[in-house]
Amino acid sequence: MRRWALPIAVAALLALAALVLVELLRPAAAPTPAEQAQQVAGDLRCPDCQALSVAESQTAAAAAIRRQIVEQLAAGSTPEQVRAYFVARYGEWILLVPTSPFAWWIPAAAVLLGIGGLAWWWRRGRATVAPVMQPVAGRAVREQIRDEVEQLDA
């Protein structure tokens, strides 16, 4: 029974992956104005709260900014232009995501360095590693061994 389980599982996974790929590559429907406004509002910081975005905040200042976002998008500005409009008035601080590329590269580099460091450390210790044993016994024998070990646990 288990013999064909793995190939089927792999096939199922690949099929799912293919479906996901097709879904992703399909030209996405353009976001509605409301969705666009929500997205821009989510990127701006509410000026008189702690760390909330304009989309989440309930303050009057946030409501005023949301109104302006909707107006400007309706008048034809791109999301980039709307963001720049607010940065010109409040400063970089109003953006919840820093614009500097360092903000993205540094954590990515840290993770990659970590993985690289791990690989290097592993290589270094490999010289004295004993070769991995291939399974010499079939499944039935292994199950029997497992049973006997359980019995030893007296």
Partner 1 sequence: MIPTLGHLAVVIGLAATVYAAGAFLLGGRSGDALVLTSARRAMYAAFGLVALACLAMVVSLLTHDFSVLYVARNNATTTPPFYSVISLWAALEGSILFWTLLATGWASLVLYRYRARLPALMPWVGATLALGTAFFFAVMAWPGDPFVRVTPIGLEGNGPNALLQNHPFMGLHPPLLYLGYTGMAIPFAFGMAALITRRTDEEWLAVVRRWTLVPWIFLTAGIVAGAWWSYAVLGWGGYWAWDPVENAALLPWLTATAFIHSSMVAERRGTLRTWTHALVIATFVLTLVGTFLTRSGVVNSVHSFTTSGIGAWFAFAILVTLGVALGLLIWRLPDLGDRRPPGAVVSRESAFLFNNVLFLGVTFAVLFGTLYPVLVEATTGAKASVGAPWFNRVNAPIFVALLFLTGVGPALPWGGASWATVLERFAVPILAGVGVVVAAWALGVQDAAPLGILGLATFVLVVMGDEVVRGARSRARSRGEAAPIAVLRLATRNRRRYGGYLAHVGICVMAVAIAVSATLGIDRTATLRQGESLAIGSYTLTYDQLVTEPLASDPRVIETRAELSLAGPQSGPIATALRDYPNSSTAIATPVVRTALGEDLYVTLLGYNSTAGTATIRVFINPLVMWIWAGGAIVALGALFAIWPDRRRAAVSAAVAARA
Partner 2 sequence: MRVPWLRLLIVPLVVLPLAWLLFTGLGRDPRLIPSPLIGKPMPAFVGTTLEGDRFSSADLAGKPAIVNFWASYCIPSCVDEHPVLLDLAERYGEGVQLVGVLVNDTPDGARGFLARYGQVSWPTVLNTDGGISIDYGVTGPPETFFVDARGVVVARHVGPLTAAVVARELAALGLTP
> Please, which residue, 67 or 146, has the CB nearer to partner 2?
67
Q: Taking contact as CB under 8 A, which single stretch among the options 25-33, 67-75, 78-86, 105-113 is the one that binds partner 1? A: 105-113
Using the 8-state DSSP alphabet, how is residue 49 labeled? S
Site for partner 1 (CB under 8 A): how many residues?
Answer: 58
Instruction: Kindly state the tokens that stand for 121.
Output: 């450390």
Specify the DSSP element, H or E, that contains 116.
Answer: helix 102-126
Q: CA geometry: angle at 18 spanning 14 and 28, to 5°? A: 155
Point out which span in 9-17, 62-70, 112-120, 143-151 binds partner 2 (CB under 8 A).
62-70
Residue 100 binds to partner 1 (criterion: CB under 8 A): yes
Check binding of 92 to partner 1 (CB under 8 A).
yes
Q: Is there binding between residue 88 and partner 2 (CB under 8 A)?
A: yes
User: By CB under 8 A, what part of segment 60-89 binds partner 1?
Assistant: none
Place of tokens 């499944």: 139
By the criterion CB under 8 A, which residues form the site for partner 2?
Answer: 47-48, 60-61, 63-65, 67-68, 86-91, 93-94
